């Protein structure tokens, strides 16, 4: 989790990632930030994030992002 927040802060600083729950809907993360984020996450966690996963629901909070990562890691 800490590593994730580090990545997030590296991409888009000045957001309270620990508590924010509307990263997308509140326009904290732009679509460019999402593009960066996906590339970073894939490298860091050795997963593939398909386009279908790119929905606000998966990115609205650090917790949701983590859940998605764990889910994708578990998939065979």
Partner 1 sequence: MQLSSLLLAGQGKSLTSLFSLLYLILFLPACIIGYTVIPKNWKKYFLLLASYGFFWLISGELLIYLILTTFSVHYFGIWLDRINGQMKEALAALPKEERKGAKAGFVKKQRLVVALAVVLHIGLLLVLKYSPFFTTNVNLLLNKMGLSINIEIPKYLMPIGISFFTLQAVSYIVDVYRGVTKADDNLFRLALFMSFFPQIIEGPICRYNQTAEQLWNVKPIEYKNLTFGIQRILYGMLKKIVIADRLNLFVSNIFDKNVDYEGGIIAIGAICYTVQLYMDFSGSMDAVVGTAEIFGVVMPENFQRPFFSKTISEFWKRWHITLGAWFKDYIFYPVTSAKKMKKLTSGARKKLGNHYGPLIAGSIALFCVWFCNGLWHGSAWSFIFFGMYHFVLILIGNMLEPPVQTMNKKLHINPKWFVYRLLQILRTCVLVVIGELFFRARGLKAGMNLFTKMVSDFSFTTLNDDLLKTLSADKYDFIIVGVTLLIILTVSILNEKGICIRGSLAKRNIVLRWCLLYALLLYIIIFGAYGLGYKPVDPMYAQF
Tokens of 31: 């679509």
CB-based contact 39:14 (threshold 8 Å)? no
DSSP one-letter string for 19-47: T-S-TTTTTSS-HHHHHHHHHHHHHHHT-
Question: Binder to partner 1 among 20, 42, 64, 66 (CB under 8 A)?
Answer: 42
Stretch that binds partner 1, among 18-26, 43-51, 59-67 (CB under 8 A): 43-51
Stretch that binds partner 1, among 17-25, 31-39, 57-65, 66-74 (CB under 8 A): 31-39
Stretch that binds partner 1, among 18-26, 29-37, 56-64, 65-73 (CB under 8 A): 29-37
* 7 is a contact residue toward partner 1 (CB under 8 A): no
Would you give the end-to-end CA distance of the chain in angstroms? Answer: 22
Question: Binder to partner 1 among 6, 25, 43, 70 (CB under 8 A)?
Answer: 43
């Amino acid at each position: 989790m800490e590593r994730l927040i580090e990545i997030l802060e590296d991409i888009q600083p000045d957001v309270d990632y620990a508590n924010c729950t509307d990263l997308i809907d509140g326009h904290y993360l732009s679509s460019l930030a999402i593009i960066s984020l996906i590339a970073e996450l894939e490298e860091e966690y050795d997963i593939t994030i398909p386009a279908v996963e790119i929905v606000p629901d998966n990115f609205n909070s650090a917790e949701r992002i983590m859940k998605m990562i764990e889910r994708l890691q578990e998939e065979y």
